Every structure is written in C-alpha cells, then in structure tokens.
C-alpha cells in the first residue's frame, strides 16, 4: 500500500471517529443542560423547604448522570465541559439538601455516593459551591433572628473550609472555588457578629 492510499484510508477513518464523537458530544450537552437546569431548580426548592419535590429532581439527575456515564464512558465525558458543569451543580444540590436536612435535624438524607458518580474535581468544586448557598441560608436565618441556626451554618462552612485547605497543588477553577468558600465563611461570620451585637 502506498502512502497516499494509506493517508486516504486514515482520513476516512478519522472523519468517522470525529463524526461519532460529535454526535456523542451533542447528546451529552443536551442531557447535561437538563441535569444543570433540574439541579438548579432543586436548589431553589431546597431553599423553599420543598424537600420532597427537590428530592425527585435530584434522583432524576442522578439517573441521568449514570445513563450518560454508561452510554459514553469516562474519557469522552471528561472532554465535554457541559457535563462537568452539570455534575458540579448536581453535587451542590445533593450537598445542600443533606446539609440543610442535617442542620434542621430532619431524617431523609439522600443516600447518593457522589464520588463514584462524578470526578473528584467536579465533586470538590460542587461541594465548594454549596458554601455560597449556605450564605443564603444564613441570611434567611439571620432575618428571622435565628442565631443558633446561623451559628450551626457557620460551623458547617468552617468545617468545609478547613477540609478544603488540606488540598495542595490545586490551581485554576478549583482554586477559585475553594477560595470562594473562605469568602462565604467570612460573610456568615459577619452575619453572626451582627446578630450577637444587636
């Protein structure tokens, strides 16, 4: 076989592989949009104390993430940013759900093993994003003059930040997310201080 024949054959093969990946990419983006949207809705419902509705959305997202992993495999999914973003939002919704259930001393935590479902980086970034939602929780509790609730929220965010400080060698987006937890902790500390000095 001469070089030109081989080149023609390889280009044909590469074209098929690119077309196949593009098809998979479109599927992942479409499904990831739904996961992202439903996870954001769940976060809203959690803040609204509509835990049963939020739980249904979160469970549907979990199934969608599992389906995408099974259908496309890890290597393809890692190259598609929309999947990573949706996984982070999904982790945030699960973490917020369980955090607020725990803070309110309620049963019915979600038993979802997140680390086996999303990449470690998406897991850490999603957990980090939860701190921002906990600031919203602290603000709402502060408006109700619930010092104990704000203090419990502050303890949780402090624990998150202390654990995240143990990460070394992180950079880029991961670093920004972890640094945002420090800002969230500071904000909740300010709310707590204002409540205690009234």
The alpha carbon of residue 45 and the mean position of all alpha carbons in its chain are separated, in whole angstroms, by 16
The class level of CATH for 119-198 reads mainly alpha
Please, which pLDDT band fits residue 27 given cuts at 50, 70 and 90? confident
Tens digit of each residue's pLDDT (9 = 90 or more) over 96-155:
999 999 988 888 889 998 988 999 999 999 999 999 999 999 999 999 999 999 999 999
Task: Record the tokens describing residue 87, joined without a space.
Answer: 């996984």
Spatial CB neighbours of 9, under 8 Å, sequence gap ≥ 6: none
Range of weakest confidence among 26-30, 53-57, 93-97: 26-30
For domain 1-102, the CATH superfamily is: Translin; domain 1 (1.20.58.190)
Spatial CA neighbour of 80 closest among 62, 95, 65: 65
User: Helices H, strands E: what count in the chain?
Assistant: 6, 0
Task: Name the pTM for this structure.
Answer: 0.89
Burial (CB count <10 Å: 0-12, 13-18, 19+), residue 116: exposed
| Residue 45 exposure: Cα atoms within 13 Å on the Cβ side | 18
Equal CATH topology for 1-102 and 119-198: yes
Q: Where are the domains of the chain?
A: 1-102, 119-198
The Cα 24–Cα 83 span in angstroms is 12
């Amino acid at each position: 076989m001469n070089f030109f024949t081989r080149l023609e054959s390889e280009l044909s093969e590469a074209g098929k592989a690119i077309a196949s990946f593009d098809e998979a990419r479109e599927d992942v983006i479409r499904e990831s949009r739904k996961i992202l949207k439903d996870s954001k809705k769940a976060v809203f419902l959690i803040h609204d104390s509509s835990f049963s509705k939020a739980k249904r959305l979160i469970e549907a997202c979990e199934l969608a993430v599992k389906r995408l992993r099974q259908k496309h495999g890890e290597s393809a999914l890692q190259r598609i940013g929309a999947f990573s973003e949706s996984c982070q939002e999904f982790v945030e919704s699960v973490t917020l759900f369980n955090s607020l259930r725990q803070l309110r001393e309620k049963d019915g935590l979600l038993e979802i093993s997140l680390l086996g479902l999303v990449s470690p980086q998406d897991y850490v970034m999603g957990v980090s994003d939860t701190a921002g939602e906990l600031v919203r929780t602290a603000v709402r509790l502060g408006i109700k003059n619930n010092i104990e609730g704000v203090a419990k929220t502050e303890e949780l965010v402090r624990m998150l930040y202390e654990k995240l400080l143990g990460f070394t060698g992180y950079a880029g987006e991961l670093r920004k997310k972890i640094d945002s937890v420090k800002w969230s902790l500071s904000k909740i500390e300010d709310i707590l201080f204002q409540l205690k000095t009234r």
